[in-house]
Amino acid sequence: MFARAFLFGSLMAAIAPAAVAQTSSALILPEPAQAGTTPPSLVMPLDIPDGEYPLESLLAAEEGRVSLNVVINIEGKAIFAQILTGSGIPRLDAAAKELAAGWVFHPAMRNGEAVGGSVKVELTWKAPLVPARDYDSDVPALPNGAIPPKPISGRAIIAGDYPPTSIRAGQRGIALLRYMVQPDGSVGDIGVARSSGFGDLDNAAIAMVKPRWKFEPATLNGNPIAALRETVISFQMDPAIFDRQKMRCYDRPISATENIQVWAAVVIGRVITRNGRPPTREQLEQLAREQVAKLPPSPNTYVLVRRWTFVAKNGEVEDTLFETPKGLMRPTNPLLQSMQQGAPYLKPKADKGCWYFDPVRVPKSN
């Protein structure tokens, strides 16, 4: 299955306020009928539930239109779908073919007998998300006609980016940095717009950006100019990041168009010896191997859904946002209703409630 299990049983969310959005649709295109033949017709409308949207495309805010030729047998079942015009996004095209395989028709008829036939269908993928404008960035826009800076250095994480003292202390948090890309492409002034809650993590985030990041500078009328940018540096530990009873309370979501994840996989356990002596190095290494084997799969095998959930003082979920390349987005109610209810959230101590960073790891589609 390509599309059907993306959201069902994989994500956990409660119902948030209604968000209105134009969702995906499918339409049979009219074609001239052959003499004496009645073309296939729908048993029911071609509705596309929001929960069928390909997850990776949803998180990337990908949309598109696909034209299909669907072949139907004498029982009215779709037995083959051919892409006539693709969307330009392979996973949307593949999901359209997968959906078509489940469609049911009244078969074509000729002289009162069922015969094989085909129909042409145009499927429009429209992401069931609406922008959360109430949390848009307040970074000033570049002047009209300016071209933004482009990164020319990597964003690789190296040993030591997550301070060892912070790992030992169990410190986790998300820092929002604002920095100036100079006309020569280097990073100039930099500051913490929203703290992670820990000075060591904030300083580590700055140390990742200022000396290492390089850009093609922003330009206006062909001349390099300075440009203010922002990025989120997220320091998280696996598996604690997925424990809803250990989540940190934020007064608002912390998000930017660029998100850098710094992970630490924490090995927890102990070695018991019969004589009461401290464990040997070999015993500790064996424990580490056993614990590492239990860690979640490689990031190459899953998608991390960056989700923010607002929990009111009474413990009720009141809002849910997803991070996408187009900013924070609210899912439509049908999309949320297609998700599974998860473990309860920690009841906020703050009078105004809490925003929790509540990511979900979902297996990648094949």
What is the CATH number for 223?
Answer: 3.30.2420.10
End-of-domain residue from the set 298, 316, 331? 298
| Claim to verify: residue 50 and residue 142 sit in the same structural domain | no
What is each CA distance from 11 to 117, 235, 300, 333, 358, in whole angstroms? 39, 22, 18, 14, 11
Residue 91 has pLDDT above 80, yes or no: yes
Whether 109 and 141 map to the same domain: the answer is no
Same domain, 153 and 168: yes
pLDDT value, residue 10: 39
Percent of the chain with pLDDT over 90: 42
Alpha helices (H) along 110-162: none
Which pLDDT score, from 0 to 100, does residue 358 have?
84
Q: What's the pLDDT band for 267 if we cut at 50, 70, 90? A: very low
Please state the domain count of the chain: 2
Segment 317-322 mean pLDDT: 88
Question: Does some domain include residue 79?
Answer: yes
Determine phi and psi for 90, rounding to 5 degrees.
-55, -40
Domain match, 186 and 294 both = yes
* Same-domain status, 152 and 265: yes
On whether residue 160 sits in a domain, the answer given is: yes
**pLDDT for residue 159:** 77
Residues 292 and 166 reside in one and the same domain? yes
Give the pLDDT score at 6: 38
Would 338 be classed as within a structural domain?
no
Average pLDDT over residues 187-200: 95
Give the pLDDT score at 285. Answer: 56
Q: Are residues 138 and 109 in the same domain?
A: no
**pLDDT at residue 117, as a whole number:** 93
The confidence band for 243, taking pLDDT boundaries of 50, 70 and 90, is confident
Q: Taking the chain, what is the end-to-end CA distance rounded to the nearest angstrom?
A: 9
Residue 318 confidence class, pLDDT cut points 50, 70, 90: confident
Last residue of a domain, one of 81, 104, 127: 127
pLDDT at 2: 37
In a domain, 18, yes or no: no
Residue 319 lies in a domain: no
Q: Residues 70, 44: one domain?
A: yes
| Per-residue model confidence (pLDDT) at position 290 | 59
Of 157, 148, 134, 130, nearest to 255 (Cα)? 134
User: Is the distance from CB of 228 to CB of 188 less than 8 angstroms?
Assistant: no
Instruction: With respect to residue 335, please indicate whether it lies within any of the assigned structural domains.
Output: no
- Give the distance, in angstroms, between the CA of residue 178 and the centroid of all CA atoms in the same chain: 23
Q: What CA–CA distances, in Å, run from 141 to 73, 149, 229, 325?
A: 56, 12, 10, 17
Query: How high is the pLDDT of residue 11?
Result: 43
In a domain, 314, yes or no: no
Please give the model's pTM, rounded to 2 decimal places: 0.71
94 shares its domain with 146: no
Pick the last residue of a domain from 270, 298, 326.
298
Do 161 and 287 belong to one domain?
Answer: yes
The reply to whether 67 and 42 lie within a common domain is yes
242 inside domain: yes
Asked whether the CA dihedral 53, 56, 61, 66 is positive or negative, the reply is negative
Query: Who contacts 341 (Cβ-Cβ below 8 Å, separation ≥6)?
Result: 12, 13, 14
Question: Per-residue pLDDT for 14 more than 60?
Answer: no
| Host domain of residue 117 | 25-127
Cβ 140 vs Cβ 230: under 8 Å: no
Query: Does residue 156 share a domain with residue 73?
Result: no
Contact present, 27 and 349 (Cβ < 8 Å)? no
Distance CA 59, CA 127 (A): 9
